[in-house]
Amino acid sequence: MPYLTAFAKEFLNLTWMVLPYFLGGAAFGAALDVFVKPEFALKHLGGGWLSMAKASVLGMVMPGCSCATMPMADGLRRKGADLGTVTSFLLASPLVSPQTLVLTWAVLGWKFTLARALAAFFGAMMVGSIFLWLEKNKPGFLDIPAPAPEKKCSSGCCGVKAEEEAGPRKFWPVFIDILKDLAKYFVIGMAIASLLTVLIPPDVIPRYIGSSGPLAYLAAVLLGVPLYVCEGEEIPLTLSLLKLGLGNGPAFAFLLGSVGTCIPTMIMSQKLIGRRGLMIYAAWWVFFAFGAGVLFGFF
């Protein structure tokens, strides 16, 4: 009974603190969804370094997780965008969205928020550079399948809807849809974070793996990358790990690692970048999360 009371108190306090920012982020995401047209974005993304930079920024501002933006990545490829542009967009998309930036600032502070935005942009540019080089210098290496008829992402990840809405999109219906899609992940994230805070003794992490040593970074990445959470769920989980004594660097590595490995998305990515490309992308994600965490730990 004391545990249940402590859990309820922690859950309510955390939810009350974060809820206004969650609603504000959803409203910003809905506004972007309504007023930024995909056709406009696709027109400005052909290929090269500038295109990769634009794709990275676009991935960061488009609402939704990587699964939600997969059809747009496919559209980029079909319209002639190079692999550098496509992979830059794919990596930036799950790392940052308007909702998650607002929530990160509200829960973890401005340093985590700024680092998350910078990591999304520069990480996307780096992986885009790798694929741009492979496409130009090793054309047969990636063994990319021939384009298949375009399909929309199904409901295997992040509650993405398979059907497109008919007619022009309006703010309030989109806002309600975003809340419906994200509310369960919001509640699950708060519940798991509250459980971790209540059930795990505060000295477990510092005693057994250390707060910021090599083992802490390794444990954070190995826990985060296979976990996969969606649209803000990683933020309260990161907060609970910080409360339990995990250092800022490993916590940031966990935050990045936990948002980029949606299995349906990875399967669909194979159609765009090939099996070898998928292995390179996954390996890069592990290396990137670890390295970004170490770098963040210095600040």
42-45 own/partner pairs: CB under 8 Å, 24+ apart: 42/72, 42/75, 42/76, 42/79, 45/76, 45/79, 45/81, 45/85, 45/89
Please tell me whether residue 54 adopts helix, strand or coil conformation.
helix
- Give the burial class of 20: count Cβ atoms within 10 A of its Cβ; 0-12 exposed, 13-18 middle, 19 or more buried: exposed
Side-chain half-sphere of 33: how many Cα atoms within 13 Å?
A: 26
What are the boundaries of each domain within the chain?
Answer: 2-297
Compute the residue count for the chain.
299
Beta-carbon neighbour count of residue 38 at 10 Å?
A: 15
Alpha carbon distance 180, 90 (integer Å): 24
Residues 88-138: tens digit of each pLDDT: 888 887 788 888 888 899 889 999 999 999 999 999 999 999 999 988 888
End-to-end CA separation in angstroms for the chain: 41
Looking at residue 261, what is its pLDDT? 62
Residues 198-231: tens digit of each pLDDT: 887 777 777 767 788 888 898 888 877 766 566 6
Q: Extract the tokens encoding 19.
A: 């809820």
Residues 246-282: tens digit of each pLDDT: 999 999 999 988 886 655 566 667 777 888 888 888 8
